[in-house]
């Protein structure tokens, strides 16, 4: 194996031989972690080796599969004389692998075809590579796919058939596909019908609304199977065992963008194939002792709740409905009065610490054990503090918006997101309180979501990293006994006489949007459940800039994914 780099030499070689790649003779070696090839140029007359070209290598964890290639001409695009090549080297195999493109964080499938004269050698290569790939136990073999045919621009089925299914077939992953026939079809099927033992993961083809259905289906099914009462706000929820893949095909693909870094079906499919795993926190939302919904991205009261309520009235306008509703809600400039109580997250950084949650994020690595969680619950119960008792803080005020983000909520329009430093899986949410302010000030705050300026650097905005929070809209008449007692949790739901809505001067009830759905109650209680689900994703990768500011092309970076 002359010429291959030293550390490759050190690794146990599985197979090496001289093959033909295009018009070059190459030395090819497969080790336990990498497939490497290096070209040898020969003098045409003497057949003597005159130079070596650069070594190319693909980490084994980025290889999708190796296949016998019957049609040599397929690989003949770059060859001067494919017909002659076919006669001289009639056997060939193609290795498909994941490669980065120059477009931001998008992955594509690359192919490299090697030719040889010997059929046995060709088959040996295919066998060895596929045997090594089968040792990656994190890769799915069987998937349950739900497609929303009406999501976004109604391209879900086409996107799946044209872009995703061929890749899954190439990677030898089987898929049972269900095209949904109504809203909540996927959720109900997961809760009561799907035989989840048959699958290694669930795939959602649609937007954030469709993902929310799958999320609810999986969490509810898991809690039911483990006899957990989800109506109790303090129930310890059991994490879901199946991972979820998101193929973006909706009008809002915020969750896909925030966990993969791109809204691209092929990129998402490749993350599923290589078996990526990204844990994610989930918020449970209750009203009194009644479960309302789960949330993984944004719980928004006031401005965002009003935008969504208005946009729902104009669904026929498609994605443009959000822009229209945004302008209308901004012009109406409503504010709402209420009390927000929250339990701050200690030793978890702050929403303004500028530490971005990126692939391999240190803050999200730690998974707290059941013992840790029990200890924390105990200390929350015993540690009294001056503000509200039991470690809770209480703020009363008039707010234009109250937002709780469990992730950055990045999207192509706001690449840093609503909560730029929020983490995907650290067991906390970032609570953003925008107090009543002038129209112009609110506009400045909104504008900063699209620029590099700090959107929290305003006197009327405050942010807190929290584990739990409650909200109680302003009530008319005397406060209840619970409210007077100063216990923030009971007082959240103690007051029962809401004020009637009074137009745009505040005091009326706003509505909460929970990952794009409107909640039926304004008084809610929210708890963050750390790492309750896992996605086929790896978080947003830092872009490696080359001179000229472009991301490098080539295979994905080797990760510490070793065959087990
Ligand atoms: N077959 C179906 N018919 C009608 N509605 C469906 C169907 N399948 C799923 N849905 C519902 O459609 C809603 C929107 O789906 P999805 O998120 O995929 O698209 P979207 O265009 O991004 O919508 P949104 O922006 O409102 O989330 C989801 O809440 C889901 O419950």
CA of 177 to the centre of ligand 1 (A): 17
Could you give the angle at which helices 303-312 and 320-332 cross, rounded to 10 degrees? 130
Per-residue pLDDT at 376: 61
Residue 84 pLDDT class (50, 70, 90 cuts): low
Per-residue pLDDT at 151: 83
Domain with CATH 2.60.200.40 in the chain: 281-359+391-474+510-530
Among 146, 209, 309, which is best to mutate for testing ligand 1, by the most ligand atoms less than 8 A from CB?
A: 209
335 phi/psi in degrees, rounded to 5: -135, 160
Closest C-alpha to ligand 1, atom 9? 183
User: Which of 46, 54, 7, 6 is closest to 26 using CA atoms?
Assistant: 54
CA of 207 to the centre of ligand 1 (A): 7
Beta partners for 312?
Answer: none
Among 147, 151, 298, which is best to mutate for testing ligand 1, by the most ligand atoms less than 8 A from CB?
A: 151
Among 149, 156, 206, which is best to mutate for testing ligand 1, by the most ligand atoms less than 8 A from CB?
A: 206
Count of alpha carbons within 13 Å of 475, Cβ hemisphere only? 18
Ligand 1 atom closest to the Cα of residue 149 is 1
Closest C-alpha to ligand 1, atom 27? 209
Per-residue pLDDT at 471: 95
Return d(Cα 248, Cα 474) in angstroms, integer: 39
Least confident piece of the model among 32-46, 218-232, 322-336, 498-512: 498-512
Q: What is the mean pLDDT of the segment spanning 434-449? A: 90
Among 203, 216, 250, 324, which is best to mutate for testing ligand 1, by the most ligand atoms less than 8 A from CB?
A: 250
Ligand 1 atom closest to the Cα of residue 151 is 19
Hey, which CATH number is domain 8-73+80-135, 2.40.50.140, 2.30.29.30, 3.40.50.300, 3.90.1150.10? 2.30.29.30
CA of 319 to the centre of ligand 1 (A): 12
Q: Which long-range contacts (CB under 8 A, 24 or more apart) does 128-131 make?
A: 128/14, 128/15, 128/30, 129/30, 129/35, 129/63, 129/65, 129/66, 129/95, 130/65, 130/66
Per-residue pLDDT at 381: 55
CA of 107 to the centre of ligand 1 (A): 26
Least confident piece of the model among 33-42, 189-198, 216-225, 286-295: 33-42
User: Which of 466, 416, 462 is closest to 283 using CA atoms?
Assistant: 466
Q: Are 129 and 286 in contact (CB under 8 A)?
A: no
Closest C-alpha to ligand 1, atom 24? 209
Per-residue pLDDT at 459: 92
Per-residue pLDDT at 500: 42
CA of 247 to the centre of ligand 1 (A): 14
Closest C-alpha to ligand 1, atom 31? 183
CA of 151 to the centre of ligand 1 (A): 5
Q: What is the mean pLDDT of the segment spanning 140-167? A: 94
Q: What is the mean pLDDT of the segment spanning 2-11? A: 55
Closest C-alpha to ligand 1, atom 5? 183
Cβ-based neighbours of 7, under 8 Å, separated by 6 or more: none
Ligand 1 atom closest to the Cα of residue 208 is 17
Domain with CATH 2.30.29.30 in the chain: 8-73+80-135
User: Which of 51, 106, 60 is closest to 553 using CA atoms?
Assistant: 106
Burial (Cβ within 10 Å: 0-12, 13-18, ≥19) of residue 165:
middle
pLDDT at residue 497 is higher than 70: no
Ligand 1 atom closest to the Cα of residue 250 is 22
What are 306's two structure tokens? 């009003």
Per-residue pLDDT at 62: 93
Pick the catalytic residue: 43, 111, 200, 208? 208
The residue ranking higher by pLDDT, 380 or 253, is: 253
Residue 49 pLDDT class (50, 70, 90 cuts): low
Ligand 1 atom closest to the Cα of residue 184 is 31
- Residue tagged 């290096």 (tokens): 38
Q: What is the mean pLDDT of the segment spanning 238-249? A: 96
Beta partners for 339?
Answer: 396, 472
What are 132's two structure tokens? 């090594």
CA of 183 to the centre of ligand 1 (A): 7
538 phi/psi in degrees, rounded to 5: -135, 15
pLDDT at residue 450 is higher than 60: yes
pLDDT at residue 550 is higher than 70: no
Count of alpha carbons within 13 Å of 503, Cβ hemisphere only? 1
Ligand 1 atom closest to the Cα of residue 181 is 1
Cβ-based neighbours of 187, under 8 Å, separated by 6 or more: 213, 214, 216, 217, 220
pLDDT at residue 153 is higher than 90: no
387 annotated active-site: no
Residue range 279-331, pLDDT digits in tens:
999 999 999 889 999 999 999 999 999 988 888 887 777 777 888 888 888 88
Looking at CATH, the fold of the domain delimited by 139-276 is given as: Rossmann fold (3.40.50)
Domain with CATH 3.40.50.10330 in the chain: 139-276
CA of 148 to the centre of ligand 1 (A): 6
Distance set, CA 497 to CA 287, 474, 493, 503 (Å): 15, 9, 10, 18
Per-residue pLDDT at 564: 33
Q: What is the pTM of this model?
A: 0.84
Pocket around ligand 1: residues whose beta carbon is below 6 Å from it?
148-152, 180-185, 206-210, 213, 250-252, 516
Domain 281-359+391-474+510-530 carries which CATH code?
2.60.200.40
Residue range 177-193, pLDDT digits in tens:
999 999 999 999 999 99
CA of 149 to the centre of ligand 1 (A): 8
Ligand 1 atom closest to the Cα of residue 148 is 8
Per-residue pLDDT at 241: 94
């Amino acid at each position: 194996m002359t010429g291959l780099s030293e550390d490759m030499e050190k690794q146990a070689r599985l197979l090496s031989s001289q093959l033909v790649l295009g018009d070059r003779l190459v030395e090819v070696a497969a080790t336990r972690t990498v497939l490497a090839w290096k070209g040898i140029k020969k003098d045409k007359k003497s057949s003597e080796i005159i130079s070596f070209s650069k070594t190319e290598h693909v980490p084994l964890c980025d290889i999708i599969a190796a296949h016998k290639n019957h049609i040599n001409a397929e690989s003949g695009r770059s060859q001067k004389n494919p017909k002659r090549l076919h006669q001289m080297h009639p056997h060939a195999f193609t290795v498909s692998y994941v490669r980065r493109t120059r477009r931001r964080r998008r992955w594509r499938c690359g192919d490299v075809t090697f030719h040889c004269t010997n059929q046995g050698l060709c088959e040996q290569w295919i066998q060895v590579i596929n045997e090594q790939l089968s040792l990656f136990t994190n890769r799915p073999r069987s998937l349950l796919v739900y497609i929303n045919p009406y999501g976004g621009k109604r391209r879900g089925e086409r996107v799946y058939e044209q872009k995703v299914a061929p890749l899954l077939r190439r990677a030898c992953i089987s898929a049972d596909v269900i095209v949904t026939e109504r809203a909540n079809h996927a959720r109900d099927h997961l809760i009561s019908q799907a035989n989840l033992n048959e699958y290694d993961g669930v795939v959602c083809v649609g937007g954030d609304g469709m993902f929310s259905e799958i999320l609810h289906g999986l969490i509810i099914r898991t809690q039911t199977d483990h006899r957990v009462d989800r109506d109790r706000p303090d129930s310890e929820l059991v994490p879901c065992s199946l991972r979820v893949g998101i193929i973006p095909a909706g009008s809002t693909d915020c969750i896909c963008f925030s966990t993969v870094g791109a809204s691209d079906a092929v990129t998402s499919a490749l993350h599923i194939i290589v078996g990526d795993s990204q844990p994610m926190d989930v918020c449970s939302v209750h009203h009194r002792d009644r479960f309302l919904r789960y949330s993984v991205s944004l719980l928004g009261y006031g401005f965002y709740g009003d935008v969504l309520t208005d946009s729902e009235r104009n669904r026929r306008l498609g994605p443009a409905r959000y822009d229209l509703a945004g302008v209308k809600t901004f012009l109406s400039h409503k504010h709402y009065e209420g009390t927000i109580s929250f339990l701050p997250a200690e030793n978890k950084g702050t929403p303004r610490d500028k530490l971005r949650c990126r692939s391999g994020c240190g803050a999200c690595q730690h998974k707290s054990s059941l013992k840790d969680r029990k200890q924390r619950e105990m200390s929350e119960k015993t540690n009294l503090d001056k503000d509200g008792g039991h470690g809770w803080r209480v703020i009363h005020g008039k707010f234009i918006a109250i937002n709780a983000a469990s992730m950055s909520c990045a999207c192509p329009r706001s690449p840093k997101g609503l909560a730029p430093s929020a983490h995907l899986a650290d067991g906390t949410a970032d609570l953003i309180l925008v107090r009543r302010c002038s129209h112009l000030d609110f506009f400045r705050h909104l504008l900063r979501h699209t620029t590099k300026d700090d959107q929290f650097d305003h006197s009327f905005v405050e942010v807190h990293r929290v584990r739990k929070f409650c909200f109680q809209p302003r009530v008319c008449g005397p406060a209840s006994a619970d409210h007077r007692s100063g216990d923030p949790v009971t007082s959240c739901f103690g007051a029962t006489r809401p004020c009637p809505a009074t137009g745009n001067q505040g005091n009326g009830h706003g509505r909460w949007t929970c990952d794009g759905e409107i909640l039926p109650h304004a008084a809610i209680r929210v708890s963050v459940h750390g790492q309750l689900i896992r996605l086929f994703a790896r978080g947003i990768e830092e872009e490696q800039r080359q001179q000229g500011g472009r991301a490098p092309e080539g295979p994905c970076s080797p990760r510490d994914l070793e065959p087990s």
